Amino acid sequence: MTSRDLFQDARQYIPGGVNSPVRAFRGVGGEPFFVSSAAGSRITTVEGRELIDYVGTWGPAILGHAPDVVIAAVCGTASRGLSFGIPNPLEVEMARTLCELVPSVQKVRMVNSGTEATMSCVRLARGFTGRDKILKFEGCYHGHVDSLLVKAGSGALTHGQPDSAGVPAALADLTITVPFNDIDAVRRAFAANPGEIAGLILEPVPANAGLYLPEPGFLEELRALCDRESTLLIFDEVMTGFRLAPGGAQEIYGITPDLTAMGKVIGGGLPVGAFGGRADIMDHLSPDGPVYQAGTLSGNPVAMAAGLAQLRELIQRGGWSHLEDIGAEFEDRVRSAIAGKPLTFHRIGSMFCLYFCEGPVRNLADAQRSDRAAFGRFFHACLEGGVYFAPSQFEAGFLSLAHTSEDIAETARVAVDALQAAGY
């Protein structure tokens, strides 16, 4: 069957024909393609077209698709059983590895997705502090958690309105949103809610509204404010964790959060998540403490084996240094292609975004100035040329150790033509 046939069939049985909304191509127009296989830096459609992939399963494929070490670990573990519902040695090894790699994490619990991880962090913050309110930033997406599917109202101190049907307004009212990189707005939020904010949650490098970076001193000031207000600082490192550095963004910026949500890379391509932090906070979890959290497949042996194999390979190959080299080469090519054009390019390590607007882009409002129609034309021209970027202006791109100089050169050639097609 062709991608069109499959999509028409899918829409009869799956809402919107997809199992995650961005896959529907609503941000760029047209219909999605379907993939039959993937290896290295390439994905192959059901029609047999090979594409250079910069989505990488939305982040987990840091070694590239289907790396031998991960496939071998999955097959070897699966042959001994897919799931037990009983403790297994691999989950202990994974927990030890995460605690060793991320110094802020003294204890950790495995879950099945990034959404579960952030949801659990929020519940734990509330249970530990005895407070109800959460402070988050516009443009930081933390999964489809009711408390966090909230956007800002008319002002920085306005309590959020639900960003999705099905989220009670009373629950959204407990979430306060402010612009990223606006420390004065954070101070005002704390002043307006004295002794009421359980946790401040953020992506230290927001990567769900494209990609923009924390300004110098911003994260440090958040840490100081949380200390002063006895509020837990929660880093959502589902994307940045183990991708930007062994210890994630917190290692790069030298900040110690109280809790960290993790996922993606630590699953090697299988569904996984984790959250961890200070031991005294984590000990509030059941069965030792009063905050309940559980999961049938948490610590699944096959997922643990995949993630451990990927992390070991990254460490043995000095992966993060190589990814920086690949990222720098990619950035040089992009900046040459967009020189003199009203476009903005951001990169940190192996993550990147090209905004179709002039800079600076430092928060969600800036990102939303992008010309989405032009991005859509660029996206489809790249796709036609054999290069797959995320089908939304507001998603980050990902490089992997499998991307070669030849891949990057070919991508640059295609991108130059695509920019012309987009009107640039």
Query: Across the chain, which distance is largest between two alpha carbons, in Å?
Result: 60
Residue 117's CB is within 10 A of a number of other CB atoms, namely 30
Residue 365's CB is within 10 A of a number of other CB atoms, namely 15
Q: List, in order, residues 6 or more apart from 170 with CB less than 8 Å away.
A: none
Rg (CA), the chain: 21
Q: At what angle do helices 89-101 and 301-316 cross, to 10 degrees?
A: 40
E strands, 26-118, are 35-39, 42-45, 50-53, 107-111
CA distance linking residue 244 with residue 238, whole number of Å: 11
Comparing C-alpha atoms, which of 149, 160, 139 is closest to residue 364? 139
Could you give phi then psi for residue 57, rounded to 5 degrees?
Answer: 60, 30
- Paired strand residues for 151: 161
> First vs last Cα of the chain: how many Å apart?
36
Q: In this structure, are strands 107-111 and 35-39 parallel, antiparallel, or unpaired?
A: unpaired
Could you give phi then psi for residue 218, rounded to 5 degrees?
Answer: -65, -50
Q: DSSP labels for 238-250? A: TTTBTTTBTTHHH
Q: Answer whether 138's CB lies under 8 Å from 178's CB.
A: yes
Catalytic residue numbers, as ranges: 141, 236, 264
Give the C-alpha distances (Å, rounded to integers) separating 289 from 128, 166, 277, 282.
10, 30, 15, 9
**Amino acid found at 247:** G
